[in-house]
Each structure stands twice: as structure tokens, then as C-alpha cells.
Structure 1
């Protein structure tokens, strides 16, 4: 079959789909991958046909916008970017489709969902984190002060979430989405996130049941696969200086991920926290860091190192709360401190903390709060026991990718046998 994969977002959104794509390719299928042009080197190295969306410069500009990383402005900012590329992406995907096509799309792959409606092309939508599921039974965790109390009855939660969706989410997204739908001859939609966004064919949760059990108000066609733990480790070599640094003793790794933070404040606090707990550190960031930070030999700064290469020799990980980073730390059995900023990070951090694998520190994190959290996770036997427990429970990333690939293949067989919507017909 011909699988068109659409992954919209940062590396944390794209990497799981690259892992699944590599597995599908190994199983003999043709892969076309649509993502930001920023991922061209990675996608082309995998041997996929690549449909670049926008330019690298445009991607960098979006990711550098502070509004994308503020809880109050993150969704409107993100939607502005998605809406601006909606037509371009739709045309790219439409032109790539043939009569053997099955699509796999991420949370924001709206164009794939539109093609499914317009042409009946089989579609699997996949959520990299539980945050992507709109649920009153188990509401996602948001920034402090914005969460529904646990004692609120289910019916009230459902009513409140419905009001939020109509008054905010649909109001932000529906005008531009429905304008394009009208151009395509499709009727207007509402309840975009809770109902429309999920493919009626199949929905995947790219995480295990113990991280987030399936809820009764999730789509009935949902299947959980486990974490696809792809992180470019097969394409990156560890440099000798970093390897020597890791061999000397286990450092604490700090990374804000793709999140744009006040790097001076963030890493100044990190340096002071490391001094207080008498630990060395590795800073993974594309943002500028004062060269004096690494001058004393206690800290190394690197732009990017695959987590699966560095975490096995790390004492702890301080990160932004991205689901991929959280999963890789769990797979390595490394204690975590999450400093969430926006999007699904608050929910991922809360789940990690509930499982006992670390702590949350809400930004802006001070040196004192980071040092206190580090002292707890590095010296608490309960945290160590939880880390060991979930490391043993996490299946390999390959097995999760295999599970996802099998679901895509199952949909293709169903479409071939005529039990799915009509197939796309090449003109």
C-alpha cells in the first residue's frame, strides 16, 4: 500500500510518525511524508518521498514566537499557522494520492481529515499524547488555576467542556476551516476537537494503557499502541568529548525542547541548582548559552543529542514535559523534573508525577525550586522504584511502531474488502 503520513508540529510531534513510517517501509509499503520543510534532512534520510510544507525559515519563525509557548495564546497562535497552510497542504496530499493510498495523520493534520471526507481515502488519526483526546471522564491537566476540581460531577464537566469548546475552540478554528470546507463542497462543522478531528475509520493513542487508560467518552475506534520511541539515535554519533563527560560520572541533563524560554534565566537557574546539589550537567538547547557556563568543565552545552543515547548515563532529566521526552526518560529509568510551559506539557508532566517517576516545577523555575526537586528525585528510593517499575513495563519503541503499522495495514485490508468508505479514484 501507499501510506501518506502527515505530521504537523515540532520534533516531538514528528518523530513518532517517522518511527512508524520506517516500520511500514520495512514491511514493504511506499511512504510519502508531509511535514515542515525543517524536517527534510531527516525524512529524506529515511528514504521517504517528502512533501515539504512551508520553509525552514517559516518554521523557525513560528517556533520562536513567544505567543506559541504561553498557555493563554498558544492555541490561537498555533491555529493561525495551521490555517495559513491548510490549502497548501490539502493540495500537496491530494496530488500525492492514488488508488492504493491509506493516510496516517497527527492531531493537527486537518487536511488529511478533509481528504478523507472529500474522497473517502482511508485515514488513521493518531494522538501522540492523551491530551489530544477531549474527555470529561478524565479531563486533561492544564496550567495551575485552570483545572476542573476532581469533585465536579461528570455531567457538569461534560457541560463545562462543551461550553469551552463552543465559546473558545470552535470560535477560533471554525471560521477558516468552514470557509475552506465550503470551497470543497463540504458542509460546515462544529465541535471540531471533540468530534470532527478524529477519523471515523481508526484512532490510535501512541502511548500505553498504564500511562492513560482509554475512557468511555473517547472515540470507540481508539486503539493504544505504546510509545514509539524514535529519536534519531540511528542517525547521530556521540562526540568523544560528550562520551568522556558521561563516563566520568552521571550528569543531570537539562532541555527545554522546542519551547522558547528565557534562556538566560532558565540556564542561570540550572547552573545555580547544579552547584547546590553538587552535580555536573549537560544542557541541550538550540538557544544561546553564555560561553562562561561551560568554561569550568562542569557543564557541557550541545544543540541536540538523541535522548536514548544520553539518558542511560544520566542521573536525572529536567525537561519541558513533551510526551516523547517523558517516554524516553521512562524507558531509560531516569528520574524526571518537568517544567511545563504550554500545550500538552502540563498533562504529560502531571501523569509522570502521578506515576511516581519525578516531580513538576512550574515556571519560571528558580534555582532553589530546581535544586529542591533534584535533591528529592535523586535521593528518594520511592522515585527510584517507580522508575525501575515503568522501565520494565515499557515495550521497545519498535514494538509500538509495529502495533501502529498493523493498525494501518488492517484499515487498508478493510478498505480493499469494501467495508470502509469508497476508495480514492485516480482521474
Structure 2
């Protein structure tokens, strides 16, 4: 069977699809991955054929708002930027992906398109080409005002290209869901044709920081990251300052948006890395302090780890709320993200038996979800 996977052009949207894409290839299917140029090397390192389609989020915002989109977004109240977000994710990005995917679909004529849920252009392009399609989530569904605005703009664009009356944003297609049911949004569970898939983390090959493997587990290890898109130098400095007070070792992944050198000299129990293979690191960790990105949140769920979430934007706030509701961690927001609070909350999470028990229970739920290999065997069901 011929399959085309497609995602938005970011690590957080691409990585969740790679385990299933690789499993489908290993099952003997012909797999092509279509995404933007910036992510093609990642796909190729996974051993998958790739073609260029779409463009990155920064380019999308700049095409609508001009090159100063990011500064304006930071300086203005968040809600004032919602219409722009709606236009970019509900029109600009889908429009570009539809245009780029149309010739790809025509050339390859796949039996099934697997589109990442944020990439509605993949769904629309498949529908226009008359090709069956299924969605693939990248984490917990985050309902709210922003999602409603995006859906509204998407409905307008879909109608413009001749698709009306479809159930948005999944167009009524089945959706592969990598979020454990107990923490998934109730409205999504009630409405979606859901195909559970165990969230298997993905990381480019790399070595763990020296001393992690085989370390003395009597001394806690804390992992601090703000992810690949929302890195903030000031927040990282405050978090480092708070965590360094604890009798523990701290590994910081600065990510692509923060220069490790900008963090300056750090205490002796803190190590700053530009990047770490998160999938390989999590089994060695005792606490994750992070931004609430879907990949890190789900990775911590699967590893049975307590979480201190410092949400910075996008769906991170609803992910943080889900962490708190599930009893597997706490959150600090905005002005509460200070050294004293970070230190206090981290200390509690390392020893709170109720939180640790809830985290272990959630990890058991994740482990019981179907594997990528199992879901790959089901893909022919959806090819029509």
C-alpha cells in the first residue's frame, strides 16, 4: 500500500508521526513523508522518502503580518493576536499545503493520506484528490477560543475550494490519538472516531550527557527544557536558579531558540546542553520541569514522571491544566515563575507519594495503548 504522511513544519508536529510512519515502512508499505524544507533532513534521517510541501510557521506569520510578526505578538496582549493565529493556521498554512500537496498526490496517487491534525491542508488536499485520509494527533486536543477561531477560518477556506458541510477540523475522518484517554479532552473523546496509539517519543540519534547512564539513583536528576519553539532565556535562568538550590543534579536542554552561552555561568550541579536525546534521557530522570509542549508532556506521562509545568504559549496552558488535573504535577504561570516557587514546587514533587503514584498509574495506561507496529497493521482498513 502507498502512504503519504504530512505534517506542519516543526519538531512538535513532525516527531509524533515518525514512529507510525517508520512502522508502516517496516510493515512493507511504501511511505512518503511530505513536509517543509526545514524538516526534510529529520525525515531522511529516519530512513523515509521525503518531498517538500508547505512552509514553516515563521514564514506563514510573516506572509500575513510582515517580518515583525514575532515582536508584535510578544508585546501585545495574547488575545489581541488570536485573529492572526486563526488566519495563519486556518487559512495561510492550509492554503499553502493544499497548493504544494496537489502535485505530490497526483504523482504518487497514494492509497491513504495520514495528515497531522494541525495540518488541515493535508486533509483538504486529500479530499480534493479523492483519496482516503486519516488524521494523526500530536498530543492532547486543546479546545478554546483560539481553536474556535482557527476552525472558523478553516471552514471559510474549505468552502472556498468546494468543501462544505464537513465536520471540522478533522473533516469526519478517523483520528489516530496518541494522548492517553484519561487525560484527553472530554469533548474530543465524545465526538471523534478515535484510534489509540501509544505515544512513542522520537529523537534524532545522539549520546546522553556524560554520567547519566549508570548514575547513582540515590541522587535525583531533574530535566529542564522549554522545548524547540518557546525557549525563553529569562525563564530558563530563573528555573536554573531555583532548581540549583535542590540537592539534585540538573540537566538543561536550551533548545534551538536559546544560546547556551547566554545562560552564563551556572552552579556546579547544573549542566547546560544545546540539545539532548529526550527519549533516551527520560528513563534516567526523576522530575521534568518544562514548558508543557505536547512531546515533553506525553513523554513524561509514558516515563511515569512528575512534572512541573511553566507554560509559555499555544496549547501549553491546557496541557499544564491536564497535568494538574491528572494529579501528576503542578504548574506555575506568568509572574509566579520565580526561583523560590520553582524550588519549592520541585522539592515537593520529588517526594510526593500521591503524585508519584498517579504518574506510575498514567505510565501503565500509556504502556497498554497499541504500539505503532500494531496500528500500522490496521492502516489498510482506512484506505477504502
**Residue 61 (structure 1) shift:** 8.9
**Residue 246 (structure 1) shift:** 7.9
Residue pairs, 1:214-363, within 5 angstroms: 215=187, 218-220=190-192, 222-232=193-203, 235-240=205-210, 249-263=219-233, 265-286=234-255, 287-290=258-261, 293-294=264-265, 296-363=267-334
Q: Find the counterpart in structure 2 of residue 28 from structure 1.
A: 28
Quickly say closer, same or farther: Cα 1:243–1:351, change in 2 above 3 A. Answer: same
**Residue 381 (structure 1) shift:** 1.3
Q: Find the counterpart in structure 2 of residue 382 from structure 1.
A: 354
- 1:325 partner SS: helix
Q: Find the counterpart in structure 1 of residue 100 from structure 2.
A: 92
TM-score (normalizing by structure 1): 0.75
Quickly say closer, same or farther: Cα 1:23–1:256, change in 2 above 3 A. Answer: same
**Residue 84 (structure 1) shift:** 3.8
CA distance in 2, matches of 1:236, 1:111: 33
CA distance in 1, matches of 2:57, 2:215: 34
- Structure 1 portions without partners, runs of 5+: 133-139, 143-160, 416-427
Q: Are the equivalent residues in 2 in contact too, given 1:198–1:219 (CA < 8 A)?
A: no
Matching residue within 102, 110, 114 for 2:112: 102
CA distance in 1, matches of 2:260, 2:340: 20
Residue pairs, 1:32-111, within 5 angstroms: 32-53=32-53, 65=70, 71-72=78-79, 73=81, 76-77=84-85, 79-80=87-88, 83-97=91-105, 98-111=108-121
- 2:313 partner SS: coil
Q: Identify the structure with bigger relative contact order (alpha carbons < 8 Å, sequence gap 6+).
A: 1
- 2:51 partner SS: strand
Residue pairs, 1:184-203, within 5 angstroms: 184=161, 186=162, 195-203=167-175
**Residue 25 (structure 1) shift:** 0.5
Q: Are the equivalent residues in 2 in contact too, given 1:209–1:224 (CA < 8 A)?
A: no
- 1:5 partner SS: strand
Quickly say closer, same or farther: Cα 1:114–1:275, change in 2 above 3 A. Answer: closer
1:112 aligns with 2:84: no
**Residue 338 (structure 1) shift:** 0.8
TM-score (normalizing by structure 2): 0.83
Q: Find the counterpart in structure 2 of residue 11 from structure 1.
A: 11
Q: Are the equivalent residues in 1 in contact too, given 2:12–2:294 (CA < 8 A)?
A: yes
**Residue 205 (structure 1) shift:** 2.0
- 1:130 partner SS: coil
CA distance in 2, matches of 1:60, 1:110: 14
CA distance in 2, matches of 1:164, 1:300: 38
Q: CA RMSD in A?
A: 3.4
Aligned length: 371
Quickly say closer, same or farther: Cα 1:75–1:374, change in 2 above 3 A. Answer: farther
Higher mean alpha-carbon deviation, 112-121 vs 1-10, is at 112-121
Q: Are the equivalent residues in 2 in contact too, given 1:294–1:301 (CA < 8 A)?
A: no
- 2:101 partner SS: helix
**Residue 81 (structure 1) shift:** 6.5
User: Which of structures 1 and 2 has the bigger CA Rg?
Assistant: 1
**Residue 122 (structure 1) shift:** 0.2
- Structure 2 portions without partners, runs of 5+: none
- 1:121 partner SS: coil
CA distance in 2, matches of 1:80, 1:60: 6
Higher mean alpha-carbon deviation, 292-301 vs 104-113, is at 292-301
CA distance in 2, matches of 1:333, 1:116: 38
**Residue 216 (structure 1) shift:** 7.8
CA deviations over 1:162-205 (Å, ceiling 9, x no partner): x994xx44665555x25xx54x4x1566xx8xx33213342222
Q: Are the equivalent residues in 1 in contact too, given 2:244–2:267 (CA < 8 A)?
A: no
Q: Find the counterpart in structure 1 of residue 366 from structure 2.
A: 394
Q: Are the equivalent residues in 1 in contact too, given 2:102–2:129 (CA < 8 A)?
A: no
**Residue 16 (structure 1) shift:** 1.1
CA deviations over 1:346-368 (Å, ceiling 9, x no partner): 22221221221111111241112
CA deviations over 1:318-367 (Å, ceiling 9, x no partner): 11112221121122222110111222212222122122111111124111
CA distance in 2, matches of 1:331, 1:164: 26
CA deviations over 1:75-97 (Å, ceiling 9, x no partner): 62474277445444224322222
